[in-house]
Structure 1
Amino acid sequence: MAELGLDAVEEILVRLDVEDLIRCKSVCKSWLSFISSTRFVKAHLKHNYNNDRDNHELGHRRISSYAIKNEDDWLYCNGFFIVGSCNGLVCISPEDVELVVTNPSTRELKKLPPPPYRPHMDKILQIRGVVCWGFGYDSSADDYKVVAGFRKSFSKFRTRFHVLTLKSNIWKVVGEVKYRNIEGKSGVLCGGALHWFMIGENNKKVIVSLDLSTDELKEIPQPNADLLYECKGDHRLGVIDESLCIYSSYFPLSSKKWVMKNKWELYDDPYETKYDVVHYLILEHSQQATGYLYGHDGGTHVPSIGDHIRASVLVRSLVSPHPYPHVNNNNIHYAKV
């Protein structure tokens, strides 16, 4: 192995599973440094990402917040939410006032400061205050962002958006819209932006997007209302073939879906949507951080409802939830592998 060049070593290691790479870190200091480097972490992520997208199934490698598996049985937790997932990181809210970013593959996690609730709101109203949220990657800053949207008033159709970056660990207000969320609390991540279906005072239904690089909020035009009936039932947002789509919650596995390319196009391809795998998270008790560790168990489940189809994508990676993994920080926690 010593006779191989760096590129050859990378070509070999980049194909290994995360568990094997963690073991390889113990081989020697040079391997530890190489596998932990930003270059290799990104190369390994790209390799896994491309492999996962060899198929175009709607819902491929999704994770479910409806069933969380512990060591003994299945837990159905009403207060447990998956905010979003990107590049192997998963943002989780064990409660509505608590946020954690974890890598289930490496079992590394980071507890985030709570979103800035209005001071005069009591705890019960705080829990009700988050109407939408999301998690994604800002490619321009090479950083990850957590988004939380709050109703300014429960009697008004206004949502104010707060954003936290993992590098700054600070919340800031980026804007507001004259709408409230009506479907899917977690934003759908597509094309570097998060998307939600919202509604205004005049019952106008719109798609609102937040660009994660610019923090710009804007409305996304929908298909012609006279043609939207092709996707019968209550409409929801999802991602297919790396494009935003609208599908029916009544018939989530129907072949007909509106897909946004350069413009909205009606897909009628039965091969685009198949029964697919949903992956669960293992829930284990721990004394660290929030009291729980989240790992990926490789378990499978055939989705039967639309919420599984729109669930977050899980890619196995070495990406750390902390932007500076070599810094000794109290917010960084590891589980034994």
Structure 2
Amino acid sequence: MSPSGSINIPLEITEAILRLLPAKSLGRFKSVSKTWNSLISDPNFIKTHLLHTHQTSKLIGLSTTGSLYSIDISETLDSDDDDDDDDDILATAKELSIRSPPIRWKEIFGSCNGLLLAKDENDTIFMINPTTQDLWKVPLCPFAPPPDEEYEEEVYVTYGFGYDSSTDDYKIVSISFWHHHSMQHDSSETFASVYSLRNNSWRKLRDYDYHEHDHTVLDVINGAVINQTLHWLARHSEIVGFNLANEEFNEMKFPDTIGMYTSTFSSMVDVGGKLGVFIWSDAGFECCVMEEYGVWESWTRVRIHGVERDRVPWPECLLDGRSREIVFQEKEGKVLVYNIDERRFRDVRIVGGPGGTVNVYGGTFVESLESPKRIMIAS
């Protein structure tokens, strides 16, 4: 014990205790002392904290006024004791404000380790950590061809965002598809490129013409990350995968045994760490899950009851820690939560935004200390 009567705790014990605390609390604890501020800000501590902390994931919301929100639906469902299906369950949206500079957000492309990949109203892409207020502007991709005024163009761009543990790097994949119309002829081009945060640069990927081979990627939002591989749905009952480590594309076909070839795709999502695809088949609306990654015989099917074909809610994600409940976006300001065991939907209305309607983005978010600056310092 020190002369002042306080207890001197070894720094390694202090560090071990702090590693177990939530990121938001650690942000406040930086002001305790210079030692704590230095420890909590250290890149190695940030990385180890991410590995040791276990927090409940929250849904990500984006309001019609351009603000980001976190929504804890699991907490809402646990506290709901009313069995009256006619009444909506209310879930509170809490704003994830970025204080400086003020930004009006337009779209969210992905979430990984507490970082969000989002685009603002000026079409500038950022990596952000709403918990720590870190903001990283992603440079423009130099490989997309400029628009040609002679053509009438259809442009589709899909993104993927994930973490490559082999190089301790965050990567963005962009797949762009142009369909040009003119009086003389029609033509199509597909470009794929990858951005490395560690190198702060884009690299054009090897030519892989999805359109030429009729393998056009159907997902136009973001890739589902499973086993450090991004996945998108493609035509002809295929999944297009991009391995974040070796930066190569691969194609995976669905097995005949589950009848995917006669099905209509809806979307692909992360189903509790497993690859999941929502489809319409002769049996109705189903979720097909690959129980063991890479093993085609492990695909299983779960029927989603109570969905009419002319009113298909958009599947978003599985509720973290609740492996039998799936979140669907039905309409503005409302989601449906489907319980597989009970075979029923519950209506959840999102409230709490200061202005505009809050809609969920297809993914979950955890609070962390992770920062793009940590990667840049390490490089």
Give the alignment's TM-score, normalised by structure 1: 0.70
1:90 lines up with 2:121 in the alignment: no
- How many angstroms apart in 2 are the aligned matches of 1:21 and 1:245? 35
Q: Which sections of structure 2, spanning at least 5 residues, go unmatched?
A: 1-5, 70-93, 96-103, 181-185, 211-215, 305-321, 339-358
User: How many corresponding residue pairs?
Assistant: 285
Which residue identity is paired with 2:30?
Answer: K
- How many angstroms apart in 1 are the aligned matches of 2:33 and 2:152? 49
Per-residue deviation, residues 15-64 of structure 1 (Å, max 9, x unmatched)? 3222221121122222122111233212321233x444xxxxxxx63324
Please identify runs of 4+ aligned residues in structure 1 that moved more than 3 A. Answer: 64-71, 117-120, 122-130, 152-158, 232-235, 267-273, 275-278, 323-327
1:62 lines up with 2:48 in the alignment: no
Q: Which residue of 2 aligns with 1:313?
A: 364
**Counterpart among 239, 254, 260 of residue 270 in structure 2:** 239
Percent sequence identity is 26
Q: Which sections of structure 1, spanning at least 5 residues, go unmatched?
A: 53-59, 279-300, 328-337
Structure of greater relative contact order (alpha carbons < 8 Å, 6+ residues apart) = 1
Q: Which residue of 2 aligns with 1:102?
A: 128
Contact persistence 1:143–1:323 (CA under 8 A) = no
Q: SS in structure 2 opposite 1:181?
A: coil
1:265 lines up with 2:299 in the alignment: yes
Larger Rg, first or second structure (1 or 2): 2
- How many angstroms apart in 2 are the aligned matches of 1:217 and 1:265? 21
Q: Which residue of 1 aligns with 2:205?
A: 174
Shift of 1:241: 2.5
Q: Which residue of 2 aligns with 1:286?
A: none
1:160 lines up with 2:157 in the alignment: no
- How many angstroms apart in 2 are the aligned matches of 1:125 and 1:95? 25
Contact persistence 1:236–1:249 (CA under 8 A) = no
Measured on the aligned residues, the alpha-carbon RMSD in Å equals 4.0
Q: SS in structure 1 opposite 2:267?
A: strand
In the TM superposition, 1:174-253 aligns within 5 A as 174-179=205-210, 180-199=216-235, 204-224=236-256, 227-228=259-260, 234-248=265-279
Q: SS in structure 1 opposite 2:44?
A: helix
- How many angstroms apart in 2 are the aligned matches of 1:127 and 1:323? 40
Contact persistence 1:259–1:266 (CA under 8 A) = yes
Q: Which residue of 2 aligns with 1:141?
A: 167
Shift of 1:272: 3.3
- How many angstroms apart in 1 are the aligned matches of 2:264 and 2:145? 40
Q: SS in structure 2 opposite 1:8?
A: helix
Q: 1:149 to 1:110 in 2, by over 3 A?
A: same
Per-residue deviation, residues 173-222 of structure 1 (Å, max 9, x unmatched)? 122333222224211111111111123xxxx2421111111111111222
The structure where strand makes up a greater share of residues is 2
Q: Which residue of 2 aligns with 1:21?
A: 26
Give the alignment's TM-score, normalised by structure 2: 0.63
Q: 1:313 to 1:223 in 2, by over 3 A?
A: farther
Contact persistence 2:110–2:118 (CA under 8 A) = yes
Q: 1:166 to 1:208 in 2, by over 3 A?
A: same
Q: 1:126 to 1:15 in 2, by over 3 A?
A: farther
Q: Which residue of 1 aligns with 2:38?
A: 33
- How many angstroms apart in 1 are the aligned matches of 2:291 and 2:301? 10
